[in-house]
């Protein structure tokens, strides 16, 4: 007897082939039958008018810390994600010496927008090495299926300790780091991830350790995957970093390389497309590069207590290590304001591009300023006859830096974003789920693709959208028997209404350890999410008593 039977459902199987009406039967966590077949089930669902697709594979998340206290990795499973990849950009918590836990947590506070109190209270540190970290996750159980990168910054900190963010490594230290990467890969890491992006800083603006790596270190650690014979490489590059530099690393390792983050900026509207063209040329030379693009406008909520969108500016770096009073004085200083605007207008692409009409006052701290909420900085500056940056800083200082702003800082040109998503050398990615918790929540990126892009904008058929969210990333990462609906595949399934599917508006919760806040977003049109044959979520959220039915994936096929 089947465990579950879905009847009268439109099956979109993840391969890209046209959807078809039929039934799906599940037993012992796997798909047993697809199409037309006989057989009773313990539970039969009449899914008339609905679509059944494989669960979404989110290939760019940062749940490495959160999963140790929240094994469901909220909110991703509620948004149709059944398999997620953690450790992107090299921001991991394993390996970690017990004496280096504070350094590791303080690195995450800035670069991933996490509360230090939440991390101190929440992280389960019952591991030291990367293999022990995977063992711990398996023992505790996980809600979604989890794949883990071994992260460059953690490896560097493990070997160089307090020097990790200050200097280049010696040849002997590079050798030790390579051994740690190989150990992690042999234990079940999906690959090796790093960042070279200058805006990726730890507490007080200290660079993330991987940014200190020289070319020899990068080549040696990337090449470790060649010895292992499998795995994915992943880098978040600086905006001006040539694709050819990453191609050399790809060729050294002979492994696929994912390049993040290809986001569109009006300051240099052709840059992302030039990168994708270079990636295509590398592919023609046999070097498997892929560009990670986001289907979402890059929206961020922030205050000037921690203005993440601005921290990639060189003139901001000295600000990050000031006392609070000195910081406020600097914000009021006309010389600093001029330096910021000069850098903004230099033509160099930054995360924040100065589109003041897309920056809004989200929440004021003083009732006297309540009329400002919901209005753009461009409009408010015109009324006040102040320059936009001056108005913004003056308001923040008036309210003791507690004013909340929201900004669309990149990916605001929908025509360009749609073109990027359809590029054959791009993968849909960059949800950043689990990171930047106080600034954004794009964990519902997959539902946004299904609803906004496939249904409303019609940039691609629904079947292709499903393929790009499921089987395409599963194949790239070598995730076995997932990403498609077919006999023998694991029953990771998303049941949804194609007429209304999407993501709802974001809102703030205060449910992290130590009462810290995070942004989240609800699903729209989701009727059920199953992981390995067990229902974990529906339209009302996480199912009461949902099993930790996910798997810590440690065996992979070779990615082609």
C-alpha to C-alpha distance for 399 and 381, rounded to whole angstroms: 17
Residue 476 is encoded by which pair of tokens? 């790239």
Residue 261 is encoded by which pair of tokens? 């983050």
State the pLDDT at residue 72: 98
CA distances from 530 to 10, 39, 405 (A): 17, 20, 37
State the pLDDT at residue 550: 98
Instruction: Tell me the angle at which helices 215-228 and 171-187 cross, rounded to the nearest 10 degrees.
Output: 30
How does the average pLDDT of the chain come out, rounded?
95
State the pLDDT at residue 350: 80
C-alpha to C-alpha distance for 401 and 117, rounded to whole angstroms: 20
Q: Decide which of 475 and 312 is more confident.
A: 475
Residue 250 is encoded by which pair of tokens? 């790809």
Q: Decide which of 512 and 191 is more confident.
A: 191
What average pLDDT does this structure show over 443-458?
98
- Tell me if 112 sits within 8 A of 436, measured CB to CB: yes
Q: How far is CA 445 from the centre of its chain?
A: 10
Write the DSSP symbol of residue 319. Answer: G
559 pLDDT band, cuts 50/70/90, is low
266 pLDDT band, cuts 50/70/90, is confident
State the pLDDT at residue 294: 97
Whether 560 has a pLDDT exceeding 70, the answer reads no
What average pLDDT does this structure show over 250-278?
94
pTM more than 0.85 = yes
Instruction: Tell me the angle at which helices 130-140 and 171-187 cross, rounded to the nearest 10 degrees.
Output: 30
- Tell me if 289 sits within 8 A of 250, measured CB to CB: yes
Give the strand pairing for 298-302 and 191-195: unpaired
Per-residue pLDDT reduced to its tens digit, 483-510: 999 999 999 999 999 999 999 998 888 8
Q: Which residues touch 194 (CB under 8 Å, ≥6 apart)?
A: 89, 90, 151, 152, 153, 210, 213, 218, 221, 234, 235, 236
Q: Spell out the domain ranges in the chain.
A: 56-297+411-520, 300-408
Whether 161 has a pLDDT exceeding 90, the answer reads yes
- Tell me if 12 sits within 8 A of 31, measured CB to CB: no
CA atoms within 13 A on the CB side of 237: 25
3 state DSSP class of 291: strand
Fold for 56-297+411-520, please state it.
TIM Barrel (3.20.20)
Per-residue pLDDT reduced to its tens digit, 91-124: 999 999 999 999 999 988 877 778 899 999 999 9
Specify the residue for token string 């205050």: 303
Whether 401 has a pLDDT exceeding 90, the answer reads yes
Per-residue pLDDT reduced to its tens digit, 198-240: 888 888 778 999 999 999 999 999 999 999 999 999 999 988 8
Give the strand pairing for 541-542 and 534-538: antiparallel
Closest CA to 119 of 418, 513, 445: 513
332 pLDDT band, cuts 50/70/90, is very high
274 pLDDT band, cuts 50/70/90, is very high
Q: Which residues touch 205 (CB under 8 Å, ≥6 apart)?
A: 110, 311, 316, 317, 318, 319, 320, 321
**Nearest-5° Cα angle at 472, 467 to 474:** 120
Per-residue pLDDT reduced to its tens digit, 334-366: 999 999 999 999 878 788 888 999 999 989 999
Q: Decide which of 108 and 50 is more confident.
A: 50
State the pLDDT at residue 167: 97
């Amino acid at each position: 007897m089947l465990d579950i039977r879905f009847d009268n459902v439109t099956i979109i199987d993840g391969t890209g082939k046209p959807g078809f009406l039929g039934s799906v039967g599940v037993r012992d966590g796997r798909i047993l039958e697809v199409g037309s077949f006989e057989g009773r089930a313990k539970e039969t669902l009449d899914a008339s008018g609905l679509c059944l697709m494989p669960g979404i594979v989110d290939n760019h998340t940062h749940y490495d810390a959160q999963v140790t206290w929240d094994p469901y990795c909220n909110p991703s499973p509620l948004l149709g994600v059944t398999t997620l990849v953690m450790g992107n950009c090299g921001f991991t918590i394993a390996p970690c010496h017990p004496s280096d836990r504070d350094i590791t947590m303080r690195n995450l506070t800035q670069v991933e927008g996490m509360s230090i109190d939440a991390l101190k209270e929440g992280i389960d540190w019952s591991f030291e090495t990367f293999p022990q970290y995977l063992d711990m996750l398996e023992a505790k159980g996980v809600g979604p299926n989890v794949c883990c990168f071994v992260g460059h910054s953690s490896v560097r900190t493990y070997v160089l300790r307090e020097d990790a963010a200050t200097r280049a490594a010696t040849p002997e230290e590079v050798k030790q780091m390579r051994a740690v990467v190989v150990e992690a890969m042999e234990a079940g890491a999906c690959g090796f991830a790093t960042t070279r992006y200058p805006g990726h800083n730890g507490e007080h603006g200290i660079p993330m350790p991987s940014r200190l790596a020289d070319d020899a270190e990068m080549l040696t650690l990337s090449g470790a995957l060649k010895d292992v014979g499998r795995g994915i490489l992943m880098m978040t590059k600086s905006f001006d970093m040539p694709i050819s530099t990453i191609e050399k690393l790809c060729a050294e390792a002979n492994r696929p390389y994912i390049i993040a983050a290809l986001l569109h900026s009006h300051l240099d509207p052709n840059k992302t497309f030039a990168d994708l063209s270079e990636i295509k040329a590398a592919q023609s030379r046999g070097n498997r590069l892929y560009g990670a693009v986001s289907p979402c406008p890059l929206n961020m909520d922030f205050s000037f207590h921690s203005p993440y969108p601005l921290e990639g500016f060189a003139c901001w770096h000295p600000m990050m290590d000031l006392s609070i009073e000195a910081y406020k004085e600097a914000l009021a200083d006309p010389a600093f304001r001029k330096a910021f605007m000069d850098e903004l207008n230099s033509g160099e692409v930054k995360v924040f591009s100065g589109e003041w009409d897309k920056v809004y006052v989200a929440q004021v701290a003083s009732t006297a300023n309540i009329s400002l909420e919901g209005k753009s900085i461009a409009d408010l500056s015109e009324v006040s006859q102040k320059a936009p940056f001056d108005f913004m800083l003056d308001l923040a200082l008036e309210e003791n830096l507690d004013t909340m702003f929201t900004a669309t800082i990149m990916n605001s040109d929908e025509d360009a974003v749609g073109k990027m998503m359809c590029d054959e050398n791009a993968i849909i990615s960059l949800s950043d789920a689990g990171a930047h918790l106080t600034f954004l929540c794009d964990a519902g990126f997959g539902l946004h693709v299904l609803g906004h892009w496939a249904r409303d904008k019609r940039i691609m058929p629904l079947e292709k959208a499903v393929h790009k969210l499921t089987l395409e990333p599963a194949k790239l990462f070598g995730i076995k028997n997932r990403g498609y609906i077919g006999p023998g595949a694991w029953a990771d399934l998303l049941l949804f209404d194609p007429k209304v599917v999407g993501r709802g508006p974001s809102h703030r919760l205060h449910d992290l350890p130590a009462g810290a806040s995070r942004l989240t977003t609800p699903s729209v049109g989701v009727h059920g999410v199953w992981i390995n044959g067990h229902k974990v979520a529906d339209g009302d959220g996480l199912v009461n008593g949902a099993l930790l039915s996910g798997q810590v994936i440690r065996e992979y096929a070779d990615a082609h």
